[in-house]
Amino acid sequence: MTNLRKKVYMAAGYNTISMGTGRKEFNPRTARPGIEHYMKEAGQATLSQIGGAVNVDEGVVGNFMAARFNKQAHLGAFMPMIDKALQFKPSISVEGACASGGLALITGIKSILAETADTVLCIGVEVQNSVKAIYGADILAGAGWFQNRKNGHAYFFPGQFSDRAGAYYEKFGREYTRKGLARWYQNAIENARLCPTAQEYHNTIADLLAAGMTDPNPKAFTDHLNYFDCSKVSDGASAIAIFSEEGLKRSGISKKNTVEVAGVGHAVEDITKDPEDLTILSTIREASRLALKSAGSTKEQLATVELHDCFSIAGVLGMEALGFAEHGKGAEFVSAGHTARNGKIPVNTTGGLIGWGHPTGATGVHMAVTIWEQLTGRAGANQILVPADRPYGMTINMGGDDKTVVAVVFKRGE
């Protein structure tokens, strides 16, 4: 998608709490809300901001593995549960591993461009604390080529990204790299502590940098990553409405309260093949290039980025893939503070996947909500400065080990 044939807007974002270990309310021994609860909370919150479900033409749900985590598929048909006025309106669910939320966004964008809808209700949702972590690892391994599962780490995806970290250590130095990974963790938690819906909002670790520098313990976890390098198991949902100009008028929403979709990039690599170079996220590099080209903008015009940091090494490699740091210089770029909220390019201002949480199907939608909040001045304690000469924000939502990537460039509506 290199050129958008008409204007597309997003507004009325909402995030539930990202629930899981770290939240004071979370108790794994008691009954917890299911997927219906999260969809209804997020969906109704967005509908209340756009004049109700009567203004919605279509719905789309991003979800990865509800069929296994919750024994529930067919999520598009849950839309009328959110509001009876959605009865008989078309709705679908889409899946692309951890990029499912991003795919839900571009599915809604394409409906606006195709003129089959003027308003699309987009929800991302996942409830993963329904099984023990070791069993969840087996489910999440479906985001990769499952034939590799038998030869992979017990915690499959931490093992995959541990291998990437190990390759980076070997090329560029272990201590050097660990400093970058630790600073990534510190930034994530500092931002999450400002966001009441973040999973790490209640985090009280005094020395975050020291925690991030904890030596990996292969006997307990992975060879090259520690627990602080990883996003947690999360339950939650995010929702946002996608509009044409006619849809905005129908809902009575001013353009100044929206973000405009300036460009989109969607790229996929062969899931059956290993990366050519473990120290390069080639699909993020290509999807972000396509999105910026589509928007007619450059990375220098970005005020903030929401980057898919399922693991801290993905954050470091992502900054290189986006071109903010040269190959091998990403760890230095991060450890120097350039991705902090007051740095050269603030990244993941509500904590990202490590800090805010990673309800897999919701993540891409949560990113869009965060950019909408930042560019329209709604981010509260998480608000950063958006300079006039850097009016854009970008989301990078990755599925699997850099196999499916959705990148979206936004600017404030006008």
Collect contacts of 27-30 with beta carbons under 8 A, ≥24 apart: 28/129
CATH architecture under which domain 145-232+263-412 falls: 3-Layer(aba) Sandwich (3.40)
CATH number of the domain at 9-132+233-257, out of 3.40.50.1100, 3.40.50.300, 3.40.47.10, 3.40.50.880?
3.40.47.10
pLDDT average per 10 residues of sequence, the chain (414 residues):
84 98 94 96 98 98 98 98 98 98 98 98 98 89 88 85 98 98 98 98 98 96 96 98 98 98 98 96 98 97 98 98 98 98 98 98 98 98 97 98 98 93
**In the chain, where does the domain assigned CATH 3.40.47.10 lie?**
9-132+233-257, 145-232+263-412
- The alpha helices in 252-345, defined as continuous H runs, are 282-295, 312-321, 330-335
pLDDT at 2: 56
Q: What is the C-alpha separation between 182 and 14, in angstroms, rounded?
A: 30
At residue 133, the pLDDT reads: 84
Contact 335, 71 (CB under 8 A): no
Cα–Cα distances in angstroms (integers) from residue 66 to residues 15, 217, 337, 404, in the given order: 19, 32, 38, 19
* Strands ordered across the beta sheet of 259-268: 91-94, 58-62, 119-127, 235-243, 9-15, 259-268, 404-412, 392-399, 302-307
